[in-house]
Structure 1
Amino acid sequence: MRAIRVASAALLGLSALTLGTPAAVAYGGGEGEGEGGHGTGESTHLSLGVMPEEVAPGGHVTLTVRGCEETARVTSGVFDTVTVPKGQKSASATVDWDARPGATYTVNLRCGHETDQAELTVIERTQGGGGHTNPHEMPPGNPEHGVRAGFGGSIGGFDLKEIGLGTALVTGSVGVAWYRARRRAAAGTAA
């Protein structure tokens, strides 16, 4: 019985570690670097993230502020000033329609006396095939036709390698627990 409890605890710990890793990687894994952009400010704990880092004119970006415990202001020459209220970690901004494709703009964060910066590149707006597209912008079309519904992100987010590895870990844990339980039962009957 003890082997089953130990195996279960180990599997739960491994699952928690595995599920927590992508969030740490998404934020650069350390302080001073922002999500999406590279932190270049004066502070070692304040960071600004801009997602996506490439957007077409009229597109939306999410501005993520980490390490600020008061109201923050985010400014750039490509969108209106955004205020991130105290207690919130992110806000969104709409890139100006007249933003010049190919240009890279500096996005500035100010929190009290601390600052940080990130970069945002404006890309060419494309209709239909090829080129960069912004997943956060509204697709061109007729709004009276409604939404094209489907599976959306419910299936696309799975990585088959991760699913296979998880299945192998669970199967291995169950197999080891079963083997040890059978071995212990055989040892108990032989004695």
Structure 2
Amino acid sequence: MRAIRVASAALLGVCALTLSAPAAVASGGGNITPFGFSVLPSTIAAGGQVTLQLNRDGGCRGPATVTSAVFDAVTIPPGRSAATATVDWDAKPGATYQVTFTCDGVSGSTALTIAGGRPVGPTPLPINPVNPIAPLNPDRGVRAGEGGSIAGFDLKEIGLGAALIAGSVAAAYHFSRRRTGEGGA
């Protein structure tokens, strides 16, 4: 009888952990490419420069073309993995523009947001632009502690997950310690 209670408590704990884990969301937009790409920074003021990065390890062999309504088309030649583009001065503040990377007949896109104005939706975190291709300076140490993954940090979700885990641990403890009147014990 004790084995059944322990197994039930373990199953309850595993279910609580499974339900509190974030779900993977797959978009049906066909944005899966054999190569990786990004625009840095993803939020910039009108007239600023963005770095267009391409990961060629996945299958992009030829020249890559990067297009958007907010800057002129840029070609990243074979053998290179980055280029820069200057955002148009007349870009609408608060708007989000699509940036499309095309290589070897395959296309994928990402968003570029123009800073300023009144943003639509949740308030974005402030961005401190850094130069991703900064020259190395041997006289100074590394700049550790910058960056990270704070985007999407939601206290409600974390609190709900912690409450579910605490509840499952408490229930497992309660059920494992509870005595029943069955079996003469």
The residue that corresponds to 1:81 in the other structure is 75
Q: How many residues align?
A: 152
Q: Which residue of 2 aligns with 1:177?
A: 172
Counterpart in the other structure of 2:9? 4
CA offsets 1:156-182 (integer angstroms, 9 cap, x no match)? 874321221121011110121122223
The Cα offsets for residues 49-88 of structure 1, whole Å up to 9 and x where unpaired, read as: 75455424223355689xx754361323547423688xxx
Amino acid paired to 1:110:
T
The equivalent position to 2:104 in structure 1, one of 97, 112, 118, is 112
Q: Which sections of structure 1, spanning at least 5 residues, go unmatched? A: 35-44, 86-90, 125-132
Give the direction of change, closer, same or farther, for the CA distance of 1:145–1:50 in structure 2 (3 Å limit).
closer
**Structure 2 residue corresponding to 1:30, chosen from 27, 34, 46:** 27
Counterpart-to-counterpart distance in 1, 2:110 and 2:151? 29
Q: Which residue of 1 aligns with 2:61?
A: 71
Separation (CA, whole Å) in 1 of partners of 2:29 and 2:151: 31
More helix, by proportion: 1
Instruction: Give distance in 2, aligned partners of 1:120 and 1:156.
Output: 15
1:13 aligned partner, one-letter code: T
In structure 2, the CA distance between the partners of 1:112 and 1:79, relative to structure 1 (3 Å rule), is closer
SS at 1:103 equivalent: coil
Q: CA deviation at 1:102?
A: 2.6
2:161 to 160, 166, 175: 166
Partner of 1:101: helix, strand, or coil?
coil
Q: Could you list the runs of 5+ residues in structure 2 that have no partner in the other structure?
A: 1-5, 117-125, 132-136
Equivalent-residue separation in structure 2 for 1:117 and 1:102 (angstroms): 22
- In 1, distance between residues paired with 2:75 and 2:43? 19
**Pair 1:14–1:92, CA change in 2 (3 A):** farther
Higher relative CO (Cα under 8 Å, sequence separation at least 6) belongs to 2
RMSD: 4.6
TM-score normalised by L of structure 1: 0.51
Aligned-residue identity in percent:
30
Output one character per residue of 1:15-55: Cα deviation in whole Å (capped at 9) or x when no partner. Answer: 4xx23x3x53xxxx313254xxxxxxxxxx55997545542
Cα distance in 2 for partners of 1:155, 1:117 equals 23
1:14 counterpart SS class: helix
What residue is the counterpart of 2:122 in the other structure? none
